Amino acid sequence: MTLAVVVPVLNEAATLEAALLRLAPLRERGARVIVVDGGSGDDTAARAAPLADRVLAAARGRALQMNAGARADEAATASVLLFLHADTQLPEDADRIIERALADGEHCWGRFDVRLDAAGWPLRLIETMMNWRSRLTGIATGDQAIFVTRAAFDWLHGFAPLPLMEDIDFCSRARRLTRPAALRSRVRTSARRWQRHGLWRTVALMWSLRLAYFFGADPAALARRYRDAR
C-alpha cells in the first residue's frame, strides 16, 4: 500500500507544527503528506512547508481543499488516500492498520473510532455515541479520519463541492460500493468545539443539522446556520 495523507487547514498556525510532526513516522515509512490551505490569515502555510511533502493553496472549504490535495502530484501514485483534520491525531501505526483493513478486498474505504481529548464522562458518552452511530449507519464524519482507495475515490469523483456535510455525502455514496472498514483503533481529536459552545448544545446542533440535511435542506443554508451558532 502507498498512502497519501491530505490535511485541509485554515488558520491552524498555533497547532499545525505539532500535528505534522506526529506524522513524521508515517512519512519515514513512505507516506506522503499534503497540506491544503484554504486562505489562512496567519502563517499556517509557512509553518507547514518544512514538515509536509507539499503545501497547496485552494479555495476555502474542506471539500474543495481535500479534492485539491487528492489531485496533487504527490498523491498521484498513492493507492490509498487518508483525509485528516489538523486537530485529529492518528495512531502511530495508522498506515499498517489501514493496510490490514483493506487487504481482504471486502472494503474500499473506512474510518477510525474517535476519542475526544478531554476528561469527563459526558465526553466519553458523546464519543461512544459517535462511534456507535457510525458503526450502525455506515456514515462517518471527518473527525474519524476517513480513508479510501484511490480507485474508489476516483470512481466517486471525490467530495461533492458542498459547504457543509461533504463527509456525510461522501460516505453515503461510498457505502454503495462497500460497507466501511469500521476500525476500533482510535484517533484522538480535539474536544474544543464541545467545550467552547457547550456539550449538549453542540450535540443538539449537529444532530439537527444532519436531520435537516437528510430531509433535503440546502447545505449552504445549513453552513450559514452552523457558522452563526459558533
Q: pLDDT tens digits, residue range 70-110?
A: 999 999 999 999 999 999 999 999 999 999 999 989 999 99
Domain span at residue 144 reads: 3-196
Reported as a single tens digit per residue, the pLDDT across 109-127 is 999 999 998 888 889 998 9
Tell me, what DSSP letter sits at residue 4? E
Give CA–CA dist 134/120, Å, rounded.
22
Query: Please, which pLDDT band fits residue 148 given cuts at 50, 70 and 90?
Result: very high
H or E element in which residue 199 lies: helix 199-214
Q: Could you tell me if residue 33 is inside a domain?
A: yes
In a domain, 150, yes or no: yes
In a domain, 191, yes or no: yes
Cα angle at 213 between 190 and 171, to 5 degrees? 65
Q: Which three cell numbers stand for residue 170?
A: 461522501
Flag whether 36 is in a domain.
Answer: yes
For residue 146, give the CATH number of its domain.
3.90.550.60
Count of domains forming the chain: 1
Domain annotation covers residue 189: yes
